[in-house]
Amino acid sequence: MKKNLGAMPALYPMPVLMVAAYDGGGTVNVMNAAWGTICDMDKIALIIDEEHKTVQNIRATGAFTVALADRDHMAEADFFGIATGNKMPDKFAKSGMSATRSAFVNAPVINEFPLTMECELAEVVETEHLHAVVGKIVNVVAEEAVLDEKGKVDASKLNAVIFDQFRSGYYVSGEQVGRAWNAGKDLMKRASK
């Protein structure tokens, strides 16, 4: 029997995204964002409020990076969600992490995270019910350790952290249980008869 739980954000899993941008003085600011998704083959949408220091920096510089948090840096990733750049302007320095300027956009690449999308600001969508930052992905940089023998990202090597909104938990993804556009082939064959 099903039980009504009321209105809640019942989507699982959510990514743990590290969104980074420079402020006007070149200081790195990073925030933890779970409400983000790919919205085209070369675009990412981040549903984040205007009040975030990182969003203000993205608007000012026109660029940002989005890294996937990993198991080894879960504490730092969580810290970037707890601390706000509006009250702690040097939170990145206090994290102990390091950054390198992207070769493609005016934004920092956090060195410790294994995979980073380097983005130009494409647009900011503002409606009554939505504030979204949309970025055009101009490059993805990844540690060789997370690539397979063909040079493609191997999700099982990422140790990407995912967020559980139900109980505020972090989990690690990576187990492949099927192949996309393949797992349903037998059902497709039966349905097509």
The pLDDT tens digits of the residues spanning 87-146 come to 998 899 999 999 999 999 999 999 999 999 999 999 999 999 999 999 999 999 999 999
pTM score, whole prediction = 0.94
Amino acid identity of residue 83, one-letter, is A
Amino acid identity of residue 20, one-letter, is A
- Contact indicator for 46, 58 with CB cutoff of 8 Å: no
Tens of pLDDT, residue by residue over 39-72, are 999 999 999 999 999 999 999 999 999 999 999 9
Interatomic CA distance for residues 164 and 168, integer angstroms: 5
* Residue ranges of domains in the chain: 14-191
Helix and strand numbers, DSSP H then E, in the chain = 5, 12
Q: Which CATH number fits domain 14-191: 1.10.3720.10, 2.30.110.10, 3.90.1170.30, 3.40.50.1820?
A: 2.30.110.10
Tens of pLDDT, residue by residue over 130-189, are 999 999 999 999 999 999 999 999 999 999 999 999 999 999 987 888 889 899 989 888
Amino acid identity of residue 170, one-letter, is Y
pLDDT of residue 174: 76
